[in-house]
């Protein structure tokens, strides 16, 4: 026989951590009015009447204090403002992604160009790049080759990446970390368009310059000379 399944009783929703109005069970509170001024220590019932008389809520803001601190406010408006602040904080909080590229000290030219293309792509994605040189066997006796390779890579991508961690030897590996610059992620077409727009504006300013006034040898002066000769 299958065991009977009993429906679990519905649990009441958890009470909010911030106690307001009738949820404040302490006998007295230190009351702060809606303007932030201290009213003093009042009985909780009296503080509630004070808040209700202003059509506002009584909110416990410091439950650990003796007595707890309660403030008169519009709790719905307060929660909305706090949610908006948290949303803005999450919006401006940037997630840092770290990509890794592994190279060998004796890498071929074509392979190096391919790896460099990956580094450029990662930097344009506003990600940090961890470049690792892997030494094998007797290659560990020449760490300068790996350092030269990392320095060359940093120089090749200096417009998009800046060295945040210089080449450091870690066991059989040498590691360097590149971070994106302000130019990373900006397309070359956008830069060229800005440059072309600037040149057009300069050319337009030149074309709008007033023509130079004619000197004394202008048409009127030439007519006077002809009349004198006649």
Is 63 a domain residue?
Answer: yes
Predicted pLDDT at 42: 92
Domain that holds residue 52: 21-77
In the structure, how many helices (H) and strands (E) does the chain have?
A: 6, 8
Q: Are 34 and 108 found together in one domain?
A: no
- Residues with Cβ within 8 Å of 178's Cβ and at least 6 positions away in sequence, in order, are 119, 123, 128, 129, 131, 154, 157, 161, 162, 163, 164
Mean pLDDT of 2-29: 71
For the full predicted model, state whether its pTM sits above 0.85.
no
Shared domain check, 153 and 120: yes
- What is d(CA 84, CA 74) in angstroms, rounded to the nearest whole number? 16
Q: Into how many domains does the chain fold?
A: 2
Closest by alpha carbon to 199, among 211, 207, 210?
207
Question: Do 157 and 120 belong to one domain?
Answer: yes
Query: Per the domain annotation, does 162 fall within a domain?
Result: yes
The Cα–Cα gap between 209 and 85 comes to 52
User: Which CATH number does the domain housing residue 132 bear?
Assistant: 3.30.110.10
More confident residue, 202 or 79: 79
What mean pLDDT is predicted for residues 8-30? 76
> Which tens digits make up the pLDDT trace of 90-144?
776 667 789 999 999 999 999 999 999 999 999 999 899 999 999 998 898 999 9
Residues 117 and 159 placed together within one structural domain of the fold: yes
Chain mean pLDDT for the chain: 80
Q: Tell whether the model's pLDDT for residue 170 goes beyond 80.
A: yes
Please indicate whether residue 208 or residue 162 has the higher confidence score (pLDDT): 162
Q: What is the CATH number of the domain that holds 31?
A: 3.10.20.80
What percent of the chain has a predicted confidence (pLDDT) above 90?
A: 50
End-to-end CA distance of the chain: 137
Q: Model confidence over 47-72: pLDDT tens digits?
A: 999 999 999 999 999 988 999 999 99
Q: Do 161 and 103 belong to one domain?
A: yes
Are residue 66 and residue 123 in the same domain, yes or no? no
Of 43, 77, 111, which residue sits at a domain end?
A: 77
Rg over CA atoms, the chain: 37
Q: Let me know if residue 93 belongs to a domain.
A: no
């Amino acid at each position: 026989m299958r065991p009977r399944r009993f429906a679990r009783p519905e649990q009441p929703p958890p009470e909010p951590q911030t106690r307001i109005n009738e949820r404040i069970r302490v006998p007295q509170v230190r009351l702060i009015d809606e303007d932030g001024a201290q009213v003093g220590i009042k009985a909780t019932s009296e503080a509630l009447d004070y808040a209700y008389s202003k059509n506002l809520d009584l909110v416990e803001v410091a439950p650990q204090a003796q007595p707890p601190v309660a403030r008169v406010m519009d709790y719905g408006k307060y929660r909305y403002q706090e949610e908006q602040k948290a949303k803005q904080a999450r919006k401006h909080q940037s997630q840092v992604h770290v990509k890794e590229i592994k190279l060998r000290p004796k890498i071929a030219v074509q392979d190096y160009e391919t790896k460099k293309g990956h580094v450029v792509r990662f930097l344009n994605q506003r990600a940090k790049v961890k470049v690792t040189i892997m030494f094998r066997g007797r290659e560990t006796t020449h760490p300068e080759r790996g350092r030269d390779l990392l320095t060359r890579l940093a120089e090749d991508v200096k417009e998009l990446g800046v060295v945040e961690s210089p080449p450091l030897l870690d066991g059989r590996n040498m590691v360097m970390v590149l971070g994106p610059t302000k130019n990373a992620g900006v397309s070359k077409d956008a830069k060229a368009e800005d440059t072309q727009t600037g040149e057009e504006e300069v050319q337009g300013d030149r074309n709008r310059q007033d023509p130079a006034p004619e000197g004394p040898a202008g048409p009127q002066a030439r007519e006077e000379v002809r009349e004198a000769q006649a």
